[in-house]
Amino acid sequence: MGNRLSWCVLATTLFGLTAVYADLPSRIAEADKEPGNWLTTGRTYDESRDSPLTRINDRNAGQLGLAWYYDLDTDRGQESTPLAVDGVLYTTSAWSKVQAFDPVSGKLLWRFDPEVPRKTGVKSCCDSVNRGAAYWNRKIYVGTIDGRLIAIDAKTGRQVWQERLRGPFSASPVYAGGRVYFFNEEGMGYVVQAGREWKLLATNRLPDGCMASPAVAGRSLFVRTRTQLFCFTADNAAK
């Protein structure tokens, strides 16, 4: 237990978590002030996935009807949680593709295809799925099955930058404190500066692969691997 704790503190220092809340208050930290948006995979940093909206409730849920649908271009696995930001719905699909929709009409606003080589799908644990993207400051951040990290202009769908690292990436990244945290299925963690230019700030390896989205709560980053749950804290890093 002592060795594991020491490793955790070291990893925290490398991940630079002392800056996680440097730019707060932020939109995600104060998500309840804009309940009509869904700014990160779990809506809030603690991944509660609970919406404070009350217009749809247990008394009228049975009256809901289909408003629109969109046919994806593949029948491979789909596991993404959509993001809703300022009147636009963003989602990802198999082979690390990203789409933006008008949430009222269902009109496709743009579609981004990173053109992942199909032969790389065998390296992923669970088909060619992508579990979601991160949004911050008019950019969408996504990892790909073939090991790339990509930033996309949220308005136009055009690529801002991309960098090839190690893959596969299937878990959704999380934004916090000016940084985007990515974890791949090999257990590698990457901390990237959010913005128009690619800048890798830190890396570290967990002892097992990561398919779940990380969560931020308080001054801590939580990461679940196949077999363990890790908590990295800024308080420990400062000691």
pLDDT at residue 79, as a whole number? 81
Enter the pTM of the model: 0.85
List per-residue pLDDT tens for the chain, 239 residues long. 333 333 333 343 334 443 333 334 478 888 888 999 999 988 988 788 889 999 999 999 999 999 999 998 888 888 889 999 999 999 999 888 999 999 999 999 999 999 988 777 667 777 777 889 999 999 999 999 988 999 999 999 999 999 999 879 988 999 988 899 999 888 899 999 999 999 999 888 888 888 788 888 777 888 988 889 989 886 554 33
- The CA-CA-CA angle for residues 169, 141, 93, to 5°, reads 60
Q: Distance between CA 78 and CA 220 in Å, rounded?
A: 29
- Domain map (residue ranges) of the chain: 2-46+75-237
Closest CA to 192 of 208, 206, 178, 204: 178
- Give the single-character DSSP code of 235: H
Q: 2-46+75-237 falls under which CATH superfamily?
A: YVTN repeat-like/Quinoprotein amine dehydrogenase (2.130.10.10)
